[in-house]
A and B are shown apart, each in its own frame.
Chain A
Amino acid sequence: MSKPKDRPWLLRTYSGHSSARASNELYRANLAKGQTGLSVAFDLPTQTGYDPDHPLARGEVGKVGVPISHLDDMDVLFDQLPLDQMNTSMTINAVAAWMLALYIALAERRGVDPAKLSGTTQNDIVKEYLSRGTHIFPPGPSLRLIVDTITYSVPNVPKWNPTNICSYHLQEAGATPVQELAYALSTAMMVLDAVRKSGQIPEQDFPNVVGRLSFFVNAGIRFVEECCKMRAFTQMWDNITRERYGVEDAKKRRFRYGVQVNSLGLTEQQPENNVQRIVLEMLAVVLSKDARARAVQLPAWNEALGLPRPWDQQWSLRIQQVMAFETDLLEYDDILDGSPVIVDKVQELVDGANEEIARVAEQGGVLAGIESGYMKQALVKSHAERLRAIERNELTIVGVNKYTETAESPLTTSGDGGIMKVDDAVEQQHIDAIVAFRASRDNKKVGEALARLKQVAQGSDNIMPASIACAHAGVTTGEWAGALREVFGEYRAPTGIDISGQHGGDENLESALRERVAKTGEELGRPIKLLVAKPGLDGHSNGAEQIAVKARELGMEVVYEGIRLTPQQIVAAAQEEGVHMVGLSVLSGSHGAMAEMVLDGLREVGLGELPVTMGGIIPDNEHEALKRSGIAAIYTPKDSDLNAIMAEMVDLTRSHNKLKVFGAL
C-alpha cells in the first residue's frame, strides 16, 4: 500500500427503546460490536416535552425511542459509558436545550469537564415544521433556543455540535435534491444570522460558530445524483461561509455532515431488497473523499415493517464495516475529481439551488416561508409528483411496481414476524416511576429552578445555565417544556396541503374514481366528507397529507387538522363536521392504543358505526386484532396505490350507507 488508509467516518446506529436501562444495554452491546459513535433515539413524549404520565403520552412511551425524564434517567442511559470518550448524537429538537443541559449536568455530576464532551444535538426546528413534526414552540422562540444552545456551547462545550441543519427529513417529505440544498442552506444562514444578531458571540469568535455548525443529510437511491448533491453542498457551503461570513480558515468552512440514508424508498414488499438499496445509498455519501460524511447511520432492512431488532441493526452496522475496512475505498484521494459528467451535474444542482434560495429570500426568508406555508406546499407538491410517477410506472421500484413475483421470504416468517415489539407494560412502569420520582425529590428546589427558568425565558438571558440548574434540581422533561410552553406558547404549523390541483396520475383511473365519488355524493345527498386525522404525538404527516390531497383531487371534501390530535379532538371533529368516514394515520407504533381510544370515543357520541380506516407502519400480525376492534381497513407502506385505497374508501362509505359497492377499480 502506497499510503495509509484514511480514517473512516463515525459508525453509528440510531437506537433506543423501552427504557434507559434497556437502551444502555443495547448501546454497550453495539459498541462491543465495533460501533464508534452513539445515536440516541428518544420516544415521542420526550421529544415533544411530556412526561410519561401526561395524557398525550398514552400509547407512545418507549415506543420509537427511549424515554428520558430527568437526570437520573440520563445517568442510567450512560451507565458504564465514559462521557469524555463517547461521541453522542441526540436526535432531539424542540427540547434540545434541555437534553444538552441534562448531558452537561451528568458530566458535572460525574466530575467530567464539559469541555471534553463531544457529539451533537439535532436542534433544527425548521425541518420539524416542514416534515418531522416534533416542534412545540412558535418559530421565534424556537430560533432563540437554537441560538442560545449555540452561543452557550461554542465557548463552554467547544467540541459539541449544538445544531445539525437537516435536509434529511426534507427528502423524506418529498424534497428534490435542489430543494434539499436550498432549504437546508437557507436555514443554516438564518441560524448564523440570528447568532450574529444576538450579540452573544464576539465578532472575532464568529468563525468558531461557523465551524461548529453541522448538517444531517439524506441519501436516496439515485446515488450518482446524490453524490453530486454532497459535492454541491460542500462547494456551496464553502462559498457561503467565505463570502457571507468572511471565514478565512478552510477547515471551518468545511461542510461537515452526518448521514442516515433514505427510509422513504425502503419497501415493505420483498424487504430483503432494502439491503442493496441501503448499500448503494451509502456509497453516495462515502465515495467522494472531498464530500465524505463524518458520521453514518444506516436504517435496517425491515424499517417499513416495524421496529428493527438488535440483529437487524447489527446487519446495517456490518454493511458500514465492510465498506470501511474490507474495500479499498479509503486508500484513494477523491476518485470523482476531474469527471466532466460530475462537474456538470454538480453545477446544475448548484444553479437550481441558488435560484430557490433567492426565491425563499424574496418571500422574506425561511421563517416567513414556514408561516406562509410556501416551503411546506413545495414539498407536498414534490412528494405528490413522486407518487404519481410511481402510479404511471415511470419510476421503477423493484418488487413494488415491477418484478413483483417472489418466493416466500424466510426473513419475515420467524415467530416475531421479523420485527421488534415493545412490551406494552413498559408504559405503566414509567408512569409509576415518574410519580415516585416526583414524590422523592426536593420539590422546593424544583419550584425555584423552574421559576428562574421562566424568568430567563421571559427575558433575553441565555436559557442554558438555568436549564442546567433545573437538571441538577430534579426537574423533569415535562416540567421544563411545560414552563416554556407557558412563556412561549405552542405552534401549529401549516399543513401545506392547500396546493393547487395535482394531476399527472393515471387519467383513466382518476376519472373513473371521480365519477364514483360524484355519484356517491349525489346518492348521499352531499359530497363525501372525509376526516383525515393524526392522533398521538407522531409528526410524520407525509402519508396523511398525500391521502388528503388525493381525496380532494377526486372531489371529496376533506377535513384535515394537522398533527398531534387527542382522540377527544378527533371524535369532536368527526361529530361536528358530519363526516362520512375517518382516516387515521399513525407511524409511531401506538396504533393499537390510538384505535381503541378513537373508536371508544366515537361509540360514546353515537358514531360507533362510522367507517374508520388506519394507515401507518402496522405489522401484518396485528391487522386482525385491529379489525376486530372495529377498524374497517388498514393501509401500510405496501399499499402504494392511492387509487386502490380511494376506491376502497368510497366503497366503505357506500356500504355503511347501504348503497351497493362498486368493487375494485
Chain B
Amino acid sequence: MNQATSVDVKTLAEGLARADRSCVANALNLIDDKRPGAHEQALQLLTAIDGERLNQGGHLIGITGPPGAGKSSLLSALLERWCHRGLQVAVLAVDPSSPKTGGALLGDRLRMSAAGQHKNLFIRSLASRQQLGGLAPEVWPMSRALLAGYDLVLVETVGVGQSEIDVANIVDTTVYVVQPASGDSIQFLKSGIMEVPDIMVVNKSDLGSIATKAANELTQVLHRSEQHTAWQRPVCKLSARDREGIDALEEALKAHRDHLRAQNSLTSGRMQQQVAYIIRQLNDEFGSHGIKKLGGSKQIAAHCQSLHGTGQMLASYNAWVEELRR
C-alpha cells in the first residue's frame, strides 16, 4: 500500500486552533486517511491540540432522529443565526453508505442554505461506511479536532439502529428530533433509546395540534423516567421551516452546557469519550484478545483517566499499539 505523505503536524495544529479553513480541511483529510503513517500523524495531531480548550471549551452537539424529521432544516435554521452572530461553527454531517457498493450520496449541504456562504462555517459530509448503521470511527477524532478552533461543533446523523446511541456517546449534548403524526414519537418510546436525548425536539409545529399533542406525550414520558436526575430534559416544539421556536432550543442548548459545567461533567464526559475511543480503536485492531492482554478494558480506562490532562493519553495509546503489534 501507498505510504501517506508526511505533513507538518505542528502547523496543522496551529491552523486548527485558528479555524484556518485550509488547515481544517487537511486535518480532517489526515484523520480520514487509512494509509500506514497517516494514523500515527493523526494521533500526533490529536495529542498536539490536547489541552484546556478541548477539556472544557466549545460545545459539541449531536443532532439525531429518524429520517424525514427535518434535522437538516433545523440545523440550517441554527446555522443561519450562529453564522450571522459571527460564531465559528463546524458541522459533521453523516449520511449512510450503500451496504452493497460502499458508495454514498452526501446531500446534506443541499438542505443547509448557509453552506458555502460564510467564512466562519465549515461543513464536512461523511459516509457512515458501516454495514449496520453505526457511526464511522473517524467521527469522534474529527469532532475533537474541530473543537480546537470552533465555538460550536455539530454532528448530524440519521437515527437508524446504533447510530443515535453512538452519537450520544461522543457529544456533550444530544438533540433528538422527531416530527409529529409520523409515528416517530411512538417509535422513540418503543425503541429503548430513552437515555439518548438531552433535549427533545418536536419539529413541524406548523402542523398544529398534532405537534402539541406529540410534545405533551413526550414531556410526560421523559419526566416520568428521570425523577432522580438533575437535568429535566426539555421538549422543544418548533418549526424549522417557519423559523419558529428556535430561540427556545438555543436556550435549552445553553442551559444544558451550563448544567454540565456546573456538575463538572463537561470535562469528565469528554474524557470518557476519549477513553471510549481508545478502547474501541484497540478493539477494532486487536480484538478482545488484545484488550485482555493489556489487562482488560477497565484497567485501560483507569490508566487513561490517570493520565487525563497531561496530554499523554494518546501517546500511551500509541505505546499500547506498538506493544500489541510486537
Instruction: Enumerate chain A interface residues (CB-CB to B < 8 A).
Output: 372, 490, 492, 495, 497-498, 501, 514, 518, 522-527, 548-549, 551-562, 565-566, 568-573, 575-578, 605-606, 659
Q: Tell me which of A556, A558, A559 has the highest count of chain B C-beta atoms within 10 A of its own C-beta.
A: A559
CA distance A549 to B105 in the complex (A): 8
Contact (A576, B32) CB under 8 Å given A556-B103, A558-B106, A561-B110: no
CA distance A572 to B112 in the complex (A): 13
Residue B176 at the A interface, CB < 8 A? no
Q: Tell me which of A525, A553, A561, A575 has the highest count of chain B C-beta atoms within 10 A of its own C-beta.
A: A525
Chain B residues with CB below 8 A from A518, complex form: 102
Q: Tell me how far the C-beta of B109 lies from the nearest C-beta in chain A, rounded to whole angstroms.
A: 5
Contact (A527, B127) CB under 8 Å given A495-B110, A575-B21, A576-B122: yes
Q: Tell me how far the C-beta of B99 lies from the nearest C-beta in chain A, rounded to whole angstroms.
A: 9
Please pick, from A527, A562, A578, the residue contacting B124 in the complex, using a CB distance under 8 A.
Answer: A578
Lowest 6 CB-CB distances: which A-B pairs, in order?
A569-B116, A525-B33, A572-B116, A552-B103, A525-B35, A578-B29
Q: Could you pull out 26 A-B pairs where Cβ atoms are within 8 angstroms? A: A492-B111, A497-B105, A498-B105, A501-B100, A525-B32, A527-B103, A551-B103, A554-B101, A555-B102, A557-B97, A558-B104, A559-B107, A561-B109, A566-B116, A572-B115, A573-B109, A575-B21, A575-B22, A575-B25, A576-B25, A576-B116, A577-B124, A577-B125, A578-B29, A605-B21, A606-B22
Structural contact, A605 and B103, CB atoms closer than 8 A: no
Q: Tell me how far the C-beta of B184 lies from the nearest C-beta in chain A, rounded to whole angstroms.
A: 15
Residue B117 at the A interface, CB < 8 A? yes
Apart from A526-B29, A549-B105, what 16 extra A-B contacts exist at CB < 8 Å? A492-B111, A497-B107, A498-B107, A523-B1, A523-B2, A524-B2, A548-B105, A552-B103, A560-B105, A560-B107, A560-B110, A562-B107, A568-B117, A569-B117, A576-B122, A577-B123
Residue B162 at the A interface, CB < 8 A? no
Residue B98 at the A interface, CB < 8 A? yes
Contact (A552, B100) CB under 8 Å given A525-B38, A659-B2: no
Nearest A residue to B39 via CB reads A525
Nearest B residue to A580 via CB reads B29
Please pick, from B34, B68, B107, the residue contacting A526 in the complex, using a CB distance under 8 A.
Answer: B34
Structural contact, A578 and B115, CB atoms closer than 8 A: no
Structural contact, B98 and A552, CB atoms closer than 8 A: yes
Structural contact, B103 and A555, CB atoms closer than 8 A: yes
Q: Tell me which of A514, A522, A527 has the highest count of chain B C-beta atoms within 10 A of its own C-beta.
A: A527
Residue B61 at the A interface, CB < 8 A? no
CA distance A569 to B113 in the complex (A): 11
Chain B residues with CB below 8 A from A572, complex form: 115-117
How many A-B contacts at CB < 8 Å in the complex?
Answer: 115
Residue B28 at the A interface, CB < 8 A? yes
Indicate with 1 or 0, residue by residue over B25-55, a CB within 8 angstroms of chain A CB atoms: 1101100111100100000000000000000
Residue B307 at the A interface, CB < 8 A? no
Residue B4 at the A interface, CB < 8 A? yes
CA distance A490 to B110 in the complex (A): 13
CA distance A526 to B1 in the complex (A): 12
CA distance A207 to B183 in the complex (A): 41
Q: Tell me how far the C-beta of B3 lies from the nearest C-beta in chain A, rounded to whole angstroms.
A: 10
Please count how many residues in chain B sit with their CB below 8 Å of the partner chain's CB atoms: 38
Q: Tell me how far the C-beta of A485 lies from the nearest C-beta in chain B, rounded to whole angstroms.
A: 12
Chain A residues with CB below 8 A from B33, complex form: 525-526
CA distance A288 to B231 in the complex (A): 73
Structural contact, B115 and A573, CB atoms closer than 8 A: yes
Contact (A552, B101) CB under 8 Å given A523-B2, A559-B109: yes
Contact (A565, B32) CB under 8 Å given A522-B1, A548-B105, A559-B106: no
Contact (A492, B102) CB under 8 Å given A525-B32, A527-B127, A577-B124: no
Structural contact, B21 and A576, CB atoms closer than 8 A: yes
Indicate with 1 or 0, residue by residue over B62-93, a CB within 8 angstroms of chain A CB atoms: 00000010000000000000000000000000
Nearest A residue to B22 via CB reads A606
CA distance A285 to B71 in the complex (A): 46
CA distance A298 to B215 in the complex (A): 56
CA distance A554 to B21 in the complex (A): 30
Structural contact, B34 and A576, CB atoms closer than 8 A: no
CA distance A67 to B101 in the complex (A): 45
Q: Tell me which of B98, B104, B113, B117 has the highest count of chain A C-beta atoms within 10 A of its own C-beta.
A: B104
Nearest B residue to A521 via CB reads B102
CA distance A525 to B21 in the complex (A): 21
CA distance A553 to B105 in the complex (A): 10
Chain B residues with CB below 8 A from A552, complex form: 98, 101, 103-105
Nearest B residue to A549 via CB reads B105
Please pick, from A527, A559, A565, A570, the residue contacting B102 in the complex, using a CB distance under 8 A.
Answer: A527
Nearest B residue to A573 via CB reads B116
Chain B residues with CB below 8 A from A525, complex form: 2, 4, 32-35, 38
CA distance A471 to B106 in the complex (A): 43
Structural contact, A557 and B34, CB atoms closer than 8 A: no
Structural contact, A558 and B116, CB atoms closer than 8 A: no
Structural contact, A555 and B101, CB atoms closer than 8 A: yes
Please pick, from B2, B106, B111, B122, the residue contacting A557 in the complex, using a CB distance under 8 A.
Answer: B106
CA distance A605 to B106 in the complex (A): 22
Structural contact, B124 and A576, CB atoms closer than 8 A: yes
Q: Tell me which of B2, B101, B129 has the highest count of chain A C-beta atoms within 10 A of its own C-beta.
A: B101
Chain B residues with CB below 8 A from A558, complex form: 103-106
CA distance A497 to B95 in the complex (A): 13
Structural contact, B22 and A501, CB atoms closer than 8 A: no
Q: Tell me which of B2, B38, B68 has the highest count of chain A C-beta atoms within 10 A of its own C-beta.
A: B2
Q: Tell me which of B28, B38, B102, B115 has the highest count of chain A C-beta atoms within 10 A of its own C-beta.
A: B102
Q: Tell me how far the C-beta of B134 lies from the nearest C-beta in chain A, rounded to whole angstroms.
A: 17
Nearest B residue to A560 via CB reads B107
Chain A residues with CB below 8 A from B102, complex form: 518, 527, 555
CA distance A572 to B24 in the complex (A): 12
Please pick, from B2, B32, B97, B113, the residue contacting A492 in the complex, using a CB distance under 8 A.
Answer: B113
Please pick, from B25, B105, B111, B117, the residue contacting A578 in the complex, using a CB distance under 8 A.
Answer: B25
Chain B residues with CB below 8 A from A570, complex form: 116
CA distance A568 to B35 in the complex (A): 32
Chain A residues with CB below 8 A from B122, complex form: 576
Chain A residues with CB below 8 A from B68, complex form: 372
Structural contact, A554 and B103, CB atoms closer than 8 A: yes
Chain B residues with CB below 8 A from A576, complex form: 21, 25, 116, 122-124
Structural contact, A559 and B117, CB atoms closer than 8 A: no
Chain A residues with CB below 8 A from B32, complex form: 525-526, 578
Chain A residues with CB below 8 A from B116, complex form: 565-566, 568-573, 576
CA distance A527 to B22 in the complex (A): 20
Q: Tell me how far the C-beta of A530 lies from the nearest C-beta in chain B, rounded to whole angstroms.
A: 10
Structural contact, A501 and B101, CB atoms closer than 8 A: yes
Structural contact, B22 and A559, CB atoms closer than 8 A: no
CB within 8 Å of A: which B216-249 residues: none
CA distance A372 to B68 in the complex (A): 8
CA distance A498 to B32 in the complex (A): 24
Nearest A residue to B102 via CB reads A555
Nearest A residue to B97 via CB reads A557
Nearest B residue to A559 via CB reads B106
Please pick, from A501, A561, A565, the residue contacting B107 in the complex, using a CB distance under 8 A.
Answer: A561
Nearest A residue to B111 via CB reads A492
Q: Tell me how far the C-beta of A643 lies from the nearest C-beta in chain B, rounded to whole angstroms.
A: 14
Q: Tell me how far the C-beta of A360 lies from the nearest C-beta in chain B, rounded to whole angstroms.
A: 18
Chain B residues with CB below 8 A from A497, complex form: 105, 107
Nearest B residue to A492 via CB reads B110
Chain B residues with CB below 8 A from A565, complex form: 116
Chain A residues with CB below 8 A from B124, complex form: 576-578
Structural contact, B34 and A562, CB atoms closer than 8 A: no
Q: Tell me how far the C-beta of A550 lies from the nearest C-beta in chain B, rounded to whole angstroms.
A: 9
CB within 8 Å of A: which B289-308 residues: none
Nearest A residue to B96 via CB reads A498
Chain A residues with CB below 8 A from B25, complex form: 575-576, 578
Chain A residues with CB below 8 A from B34, complex form: 522, 525-526
Chain B residues with CB below 8 A from A566, complex form: 116
Structural contact, A495 and B28, CB atoms closer than 8 A: no
Q: Tell me which of B21, B28, B116 has the highest count of chain A C-beta atoms within 10 A of its own C-beta.
A: B116
